[in-house]
């Protein structure tokens, strides 16, 4: 029979080796979990198929482009980057003609200082003219809501001498406040602005070197980027940000030229409003081409070369990335595109969604 002393020795040894065993098992468990996570990182499970909830899509409505320079790739890594295998397509509801269109158009015209009855060359096109010093004119499509406001500032040469602008921020804030006040500034058109300084040169507006040299300031408002949030991030980390590009990438959805006058009907001398709605909550993923496939399509004559930049000669493409096309026309969907940027402002686009999901023409 074991003595009490022998029993206590055995018990202590059991506790000791049991503790060591427990610690060893715990360490092995954590190592196993870490190895499993690392394996999953190197070999992530395949994503579920793209949703394609909108069905087959209409093609991106690029305008025609004939002349293009000879293009070659000269990218930072020497190769076209790898991109996701899918992108979201967003619903962009096309406006339909309705009984309220005329009333809405008249309300907008009134807010812009046009109080008289418009001329109607067609059922959907309205033209207002004011018999004022600046021969103010407003042309609007009452269905889309797009319009161009123009004033002949040359009729009042003093307007070209009032350019006492304090800062870019002041111009942006005052102009956006005006657009917001008349109910035409949507949240997704705030935050991406481009300021251009202009001066009078023989009754024509040309580029000025600085704000202090400017007689007028041109402000372009672009649509904000679409940020893709990492679904696994607790802090909602942005894993990708996709910009919008227009047919003319230098021109915003809204372009305004302002003078230094304090009188509102003299301050806004030009306004081109081409904003279209996008329903960001209504979207679906679609499979997209690889970057190599997009480059092959562009280099073989496909895609669209924008009107800015060279149209002849040779250029090198320095960047390739994904974004969205902001059409000049009302569009049914906001569609992803590959964007190619090169020397001398060269910009070109290729529709990103694979051809199997695009309507055949």
Pairing state between β 268-273 and 254-258: antiparallel
Q: Which two tokens stand for residue 290?
A: 């690889």
CA atoms of 88 and 286, how far apart (whole Å) = 6
Q: How far apart are the first and last CA of the chain?
A: 97
What does pTM read for this prediction? 0.83
CA atoms of 139 and 270, how far apart (whole Å) = 12
For residue range 112-156, list pLDDT tens digits in order: 999 999 999 999 999 999 999 999 999 999 999 999 999 999 999
The secondary structure of 63-101 as a DSSP string is: PP-----EEEE--TTSSPPP--SEEEEEE-PPP---TTH
CA distances for 207 relative to 62, 170, 233, 337, angstroms? 29, 20, 45, 31
Residue 163, pLDDT score: 86
Residue 256, pLDDT score: 98
Residue 93, pLDDT score: 85
pLDDT at 46 over 80: no
Q: Which two tokens stand for residue 161?
A: 């001498």
CA atoms of 291 and 314, how far apart (whole Å) = 21
Given strand 279-287, what is the order of strands in its sheet? 279-287, 86-91, 333-334
For residue range 192-204, list pLDDT tens digits in order: 999 999 999 999 9
For residue range 297-346, list pLDDT tens digits in order: 999 999 999 988 888 999 999 999 999 999 877 789 999 999 999 999 99
Fill in the DSSP letter of residue 163.
-
For residue range 12-31, list pLDDT tens digits in order: 666 666 667 667 677 776 77
For residue range 51-84, list pLDDT tens digits in order: 789 999 999 989 887 789 999 999 999 899 999 9
Phi-psi region of 80 (alpha: psi -120 to 50; beta: other; left: phi over 0): beta
50 compared with 171, residue with greater pLDDT = 171
């Amino acid at each position: 029979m074991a003595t009490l002393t022998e029993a206590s020795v055995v018990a202590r040894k059991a506790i000791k080796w049991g503790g060591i065993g427990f610690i060893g098992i715990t360490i092995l468990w954590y190592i196993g979990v870490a190895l499993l996570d690392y394996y999953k990182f190197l070999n992530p499970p395949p994503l579920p198929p793209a949703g394609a909830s909108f069905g087959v899509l209409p093609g991106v409505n690029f305008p025609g482009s004939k002349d293009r320079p000879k293009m070659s790739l000269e990218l930072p890594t020497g190769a076209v980057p790898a991109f996701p295998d899918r992108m979201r397509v967003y619903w962009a509801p096309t406006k339909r003609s309705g009984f309220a269109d005329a009333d809405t158009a008249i309300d907008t015209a009134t807010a812009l200082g046009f109080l008289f009855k418009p001329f109607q060359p067609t059922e959907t096109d309205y033209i207002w003219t004011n018999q004022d010093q600046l021969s103010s004119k407003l042309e609007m499509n009452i269905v889309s809501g797009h319009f161009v406001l123009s004033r002949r500032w040359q009729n009042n040469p003093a307007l070209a001498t009032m350019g006492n602008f304090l800062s870019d921020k002041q111009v942006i804030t005052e102009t956006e406040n005006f657009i917001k006040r008349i109910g035409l500034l949507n949240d997704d058109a705030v935050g991406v602005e481009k300021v251009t300084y202009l001066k009078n040169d023989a009754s024509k507006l040309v580029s000025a070197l600085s704000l202090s040299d400017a007689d007028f300031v041109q402000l372009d408002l672009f649509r904000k980027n679409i940020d893709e949030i990492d679904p696994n991030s607790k802090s909602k980390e942005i894993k990708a940000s996709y910009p919008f590009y227009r047919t003319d990438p230098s021109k915003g959805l809204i372009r305004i030229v302002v003078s230094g006058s304090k009188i509102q009907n003299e301050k806004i001398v030009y306004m081109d409003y081409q904003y279209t709605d996008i329903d960001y909550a209504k979207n679906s993923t679609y499979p997209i081409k690889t970057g190599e496939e997009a480059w092959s399509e562009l280099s073989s004559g496909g895609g669209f070369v924008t009107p800015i930049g060279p149209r002849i000669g040779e250029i090198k493409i320095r960047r390739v990335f994904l974004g969205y096309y902001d059409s000049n026309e009302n569009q049914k969907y906001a569609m992803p595109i590959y964007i190619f940027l090169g020397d001398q402002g060269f910009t070109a686009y290729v529709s990103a969604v694979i051809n199997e999901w695009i309507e055949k023409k």
